[in-house]
Structure 1
Amino acid sequence: MARTESNMLPLGTKAPDFSLVDTKDDQVKSLDKLKGTTGTLVMFICNHCPFVVHVSSELSQLAKDYISKGIKCIAISSNDVENYPQDAPHLMKQNAIENEYIFPYLYDQTQEVAKAYDAACTPDFFLFDDKLELVYAGQLDDSRPGNGIPVTGEDIRAAMDALVDNKPVSKDQKPSMGCNIKWK
C-alpha cells in the first residue's frame, strides 16, 4: 500500500462544480443540489484502499452526526476501474450499502473532478463553508491502518464543529494520507 499525502488545496478555494452519477441510485447529481446549508464535505474515497476501509465506519458516522447541523457529505471515487475493477460502480453501490453510507457515492469516470480538486489520495477530504469556499483540507485524524491509534475523526470534526458554531476553522491542518488515486 503506497502512502501518498494530499496536496492541500489552498484555503479559500471555491469548490469546483461537478455533475456525476450517484452509484447508489444511478442518478446524475450536482454539487449545487447536494451542498449543505452550513457546509459540504467532499471526500475522495474508493472501495479497496486499506486507508479508506480503516475509516469507513467513521465516514458513515460523520454524515449521520452532521447532516442535521447543515453539513452534507459527498463521496467520490475517481479510480481507474479498468485496472482496479474492485472500484467499479456496481461494487461502489454494494460498498455504500454495506457501510451504511447515507451520502451520495459518485463515480468520476473521466477523473476530471479529482483533477479539479487536486485530489491525490484516498481518502482525501475537502470541507467547504456555506459559500462553497474551502475551510479545511486535511486528514480525518491521526489513525492509520496498523498504527494502533483509534479512528475518531477528531481533526475533521473540529473543523465541522467550528463551521456549525460559526467560528473560524483552525489553519493548522495536516495533510491526509492514503493510497494514491489510480490514474488512467
Structure 2
Amino acid sequence: MARTESNMLPLGTKAPDFELQDTISGKKLKLSDVYGEKATVVMFICNHCPFVRHINKGISKLAKDYTDKEVGFVAISSNDVENYPEDAPDKMKQNAEDHDFIFPYLYDETQEVAKAYDAACTPDFYVFDDQLELIYRGQFDDSRPGNSMPVSGRDIRTALDATLMGTKTYKKQKPSIGCNIKWKS
C-alpha cells in the first residue's frame, strides 16, 4: 500500500469554489450549496483506497454528529476512473449508500478541483470556518489500516469543536496519509 502525505495548504486560504456533479442526487452542486453556517468540511476520498475504506464509517458518523451544529460536509473523488473503474460515479453512489453518507459525494472528472485544493491523497481533509477560510488540513485521526488504533476522527473533531467555540486556529495539525490521487496521464 503506497503512502502519500497530504500537502499542507496554508491556513487562512479561501476555499476554492467549484461546481461538480453529485453522484447521489445527480445535481450539479457548488461550494455555496454545501456551505455550513459555522464550518465546512471538504474531504477528498475515493472508493478503492484502503485508507478511506478504513474510516468510511467514521466519516459517516462525523457528519451525523456535526451537521446539526451548522457544519456542512462534502466529499469529492478526483481519481482517474478510466484506470480505476472502481471509483466511477455509479460506484461512488453505491459506496455513499452503503456507508449511509448524509452529504454529497461529488465527482471531479477534470481533476481541477483537486488541483485547486492542492489535494494529494485520499483521504485528505480541509476544514473551513464561517468565512470559508482554511483553519485545518490534514488527517482524520491516527488510525491507519493495520495499526489497531480506533477510528475516532479525533483531529477533525478537535478542529471542529475549536471552530464552534470561536477559536480561529487549531495548532497541532498532522498531514493525512493515504493513497495518492490517481491523476490522468
Bin of the TM-score, shorter chain as denominator length: over 0.9
Q: Give the aligned partner of residue 49 of structure 1.
A: 49
- Show CA shifts across 1:52-71 (max 9, x none): 00000000001100011111
Distance in structure 2 (CA, Å) of the matches to 1:103 and 1:7:
24
Counterpart position of 2:58 = 58
Deviation at 1:169, TM superposition (A): 3.1
> Hey, what's the Cα distance between the residues in 1 that align with 2:53 and 2:7?
21
Residue 40 of structure 2 corresponds to 40
Shift of 1:165: 1.2
Report the counterpart of residue 5 of structure 2 in structure 1: 5
**C-alpha separation in 2, matches of 1:183 and 1:49:** 14
Distance in 1 between residues matched to 2:155 and 2:65, nearest whole Å: 15
**Deviation at residue 94 of structure 1 after TM alignment:** 0.3
When the two chains are superposed, the root-mean-square deviation of aligned CA atoms in Å is: 0.6
1-structure distance, mates of 2:103, 2:46: 14
- Structure 1, residues 94-145: CA drift from partner, whole Å, max 9, x if none? 0000000000000000000000000000000000000000000011100000
Equivalent residues in 2 for 1:16-35 (5 A)? Answer: 16-35=16-35
What stretches of structure 1 of length at least 5 have no aligned partner?
none
Give the unaligned 5+ runs of structure 2.
none
Shift >6 Å, 4+ stretches:
none
For residue 164 of structure 1, report the CA deviation from its aligned partner. 1.0
- Identify the residue that residue 92 of structure 1 maps to in structure 2: 92
Alignment coverage as a number of residue pairs: 184
Residue identity over aligned pairs, in percent, reads 66
Q: In terms of mean alpha carbon deviation, does 85-94 or 165-174 score higher?
A: 165-174
Scaled by the length of structure 2, the TM-score of the pair is: 0.98
Of stretches 170-179 and 96-105 in structure 1, the one that deviates more from structure 2 is 170-179
Q: State the one-letter code of the partner of 2:165.
A: D
CA displacement at 1:25 relative to structure 2: 1.1
What residue identity is the alignment partner of 2:52? V
